[in-house]
Structure 1
Amino acid sequence: MECCEAKSGQASTIFLSQSPSSSPSPPPSIQTGVVVSPCAACKILRRRCAEKCVLAPYFPPSDPLKFTIAHRVFGASNIIKLLQDLPESQRADAVSSLVYEANARIRDPVYGCAGAICQLQKQINELQAELAKTQAELVNIHCRQANLVALICKELTQLPPPMSPLPDHRSLDNNFNIATPQSYQGYTSLFEDSNIWDPLWT
């Protein structure tokens, strides 16, 4: 009984060792590979993100709001169809335009980007009018300044010539000192020739 059991056990072990199912399984890391997180579009749409997903390069998982806004206005199928019809060099600009238009449509459902463009054009026209008004005021100020300078120059040319300065008091004193001896000579001769010194009584 024991030998049979041993033989049967040995046979079973030999059989198990020769069966292909008994080969060692590879490590789980080799079977599964690297796990890549899905893009924001596939995550929101709840689908498997393929290796060559059209939306993955433009809607990263770190910015889900970007796809949410575009998907809300245009829809995922329209976005995918648009990107597939464009070359890769133009897809990034197209996604930026879609997101911008979607934001504008959410703020202004009627006009969208056209409303924002009209508002900006209105501001440009107002600023241009204000600039033209300021430039006209500057020209007017320059004209007034030029007229004022011309008037001042005209008045300066019509003024009379300046008067000669008064003589110095020193020259007056010198003239007085020079003229005094001559006048004294006249008076002394008068006193010598006249008999005014005769006594009045006899």
Structure 2
Amino acid sequence: MQYSSDSLTNSPSSSSSPTRSPPYHAPIASPCAACKILRRRCVEQCVLAPYFPPSEPQKFITAHRVFGASNIIKFLQDLPESQRADAVSSLVYEANARIRDPVYGCAGAIFQLQKQLRELQSQLAMAQAEILNMQTQQANMVALLCKEMAQPLQPISPPSDSFTGNDYDLQLQQGYGGFFDDANIGVLLEPLWT
């Protein structure tokens, strides 16, 4: 049998040019969750392997159910590698939200969170207004007390006409505010305690 030179150069086994032969991807030890679920061979260059590890199959099942494997692969291939992990997290979050709420998805969850945020901001504003009101009342009370303490003391007026001015002056000088004997006005009684 004779072989032509064209048949030898076109055969994949005798090709020495790396551009003509398909790239060889060695299988990895444990397939990623995506390849396991899709029942295909997982290769080293698998775009899904870094983001869907074999220990987390539910992550891929959820995303696959909503978006489909081919859409996920296309989406990841279009992104730079630095953004792929965040994109997968977003896809999985959106897929979980779509499964819980098929109509609104994560927009419904965002709406609920925004509503809750507005309510909490309203409560915070009310609490801050209440604190400001209490601080203003406290400042007014302190100012009033300071004003009263700054005023000079008013002289004590005699309680009755039977009290003579000399006795009243004597009481103020001595600082007595004690009891007086009715018979002898101006004479201090003995203290009641011993």
Q: Do both proteins adopt the same fold according to a TM-score greater than 0.5, normalized to the shorter chain?
A: yes
- Partners in 1 of 2:45 and 2:89 — Cα distance? 20
Number of the residue aligned with 2:54: 61
**Percentage identity across aligned positions?**
73
- Aligned with residue 78 of structure 2, among 79, 85, 100: 85
- Partners in 2 of 1:132 and 1:111 — Cα distance? 31
> How many residues are treated as equivalent by the alignment?
136
Residues 5-84 of structure 1 correspond to what in structure 2 (within 5 A)? 36-84=29-77
Number of the residue aligned with 2:114: 121
Number of the residue aligned with 2:87: 94
Structure exhibiting the larger radius of gyration computed from Cα positions: 1
Q: Which deviations, in whole Å up to 9, do the C-alpha atoms of 1:119-178 show, x marking residues without a partner?
A: 11111111111111111111111221222223333444164047733389xxxxxxxxxx
Q: TM-score, normalised by structure 1?
A: 0.60
Q: TM-score, normalised by structure 2?
A: 0.63
The SS at the match of 2:125 is: helix
Distance 1:145 1:118, change over 3 A: same
Pick which of 78-87 and 146-155 moved more.
146-155
Distance 1:35 1:52, change over 3 A: closer
Structure 2: tracts of 5 or more residues without a match = 1-25, 157-168, 177-194
Structure 1: tracts of 5 or more residues without a match = 1-32, 169-202
Q: CA RMSD in A?
A: 2.4
Number of the residue aligned with 1:17: none
Contact 2:28 2:42 in 1 (8 A): no
- Partners in 1 of 2:73 and 2:34 — Cα distance? 10
Number of the residue aligned with 2:154: 160
Contact 2:28 2:44 in 1 (8 A): no
- Partners in 2 of 1:44 and 1:146 — Cα distance? 70
Number of the residue aligned with 2:159: none
Q: Which has the higher helix share?
A: 1
